[in-house]
Amino acid sequence: MAKYFDVHPANPQPRTIASVAADLRAGSLVAYPTDSCFALGCLLGNREGLQRIRAIRDLDERHHFTLVCQDFAQLGRFAHVENTAFRAIKAATPGPYTFILRATSEVPRQLPHPRRKTVGVRIPEHPVALALLEELGEPLVSSTLLLPGEEEPLTQGWEIKERLDHLVDAVIDSGDCGTRPTTVVDYSSGEPEIIRKGAGDPDRFL
């Protein structure tokens, strides 16, 4: 049975955030809110957590997981940000964008795209997600909480708890955070390519 954490959306309780972070360090898989919609997340190196996300979402090995980072400095540890992309990415973060970039050696081998050696990275603009990332001091490996066969992600914490009670270890509920996933921009070739139009305005990259 999943733990249920009711967290203030603007001023998340430090003790609660610390408790969730401890669970993540112990190997938990958590459903948590972001500035676009709910996501499933676990820590780097948690292979079982990655497989559980794949099973919940029915994903194949080619799926791009996203490293959700606390800030731009942390993002730069895990992805190569070329000079041509630096200014545009920096201006769009934090925000509802995911960027596909070449992975650095800091990224575990099982995480990057198997052929392209790329990884998705993003910095959310959500107080709860940022508080959790700050407490952890490392990124969360994440994927949008979109269930197989459904057109929109789950957006209510109580419903996530009800439907995924035996599939995740914890649910953080801070209210509705929307149903539009991030806009995905692929910078792996040096030039921006819009892969998915979502919550972030894609025109700034066209």
43-66 pLDDT, tens per residue? 998 999 999 999 999 998 778 789
Q: Which domains does the chain have, with CATH numbers?
A: 3-205 (3.90.870.10)
Q: Report the share of the chain in percent with pLDDT over 70.
A: 98
154 confidence band (pLDDT: 50, 70, 90): confident
114 confidence band (pLDDT: 50, 70, 90): low
CA distances from 68 to 81, 163, 172, 203 (A): 15, 24, 16, 23
CA distances from 98 to 122, 124, 142, 173 (A): 5, 9, 11, 22
**Residue 113: its pLDDT value, please?**
67
**Residue 171: its pLDDT value, please?**
98
Stretch 77-84: mean pLDDT? 92
Question: In this structure, are residues 33 and 172 in contact, taking their beta carbons and an 8 Å threshold?
Answer: yes
Q: Which residue has the higher pLDDT, 122 or 108?
A: 122
- Residue-wise pLDDT tens digits, 168-183: 999 999 998 888 999 9
Residue-averaged pLDDT of the chain? 93
**Residue 204: its pLDDT value, please?**
92
Stretch 149-154: mean pLDDT? 89
Stretch 60-87: mean pLDDT? 91
Q: 3-class DSSP state for residue 204?
A: helix
Residue identified by tokens 């898989």 is 29
Question: In this structure, are residues 196 and 100 in contact, taking their beta carbons and an 8 Å threshold?
Answer: no
Question: In this structure, are residues 161 and 2 in contact, taking their beta carbons and an 8 Å threshold?
Answer: yes
Query: What is the distance between the alpha carbons of residues 130 and 115, in angstroms, rounded to a whole number?
Result: 31
Q: Does the pLDDT value for residue 7 go beyond 90?
A: yes
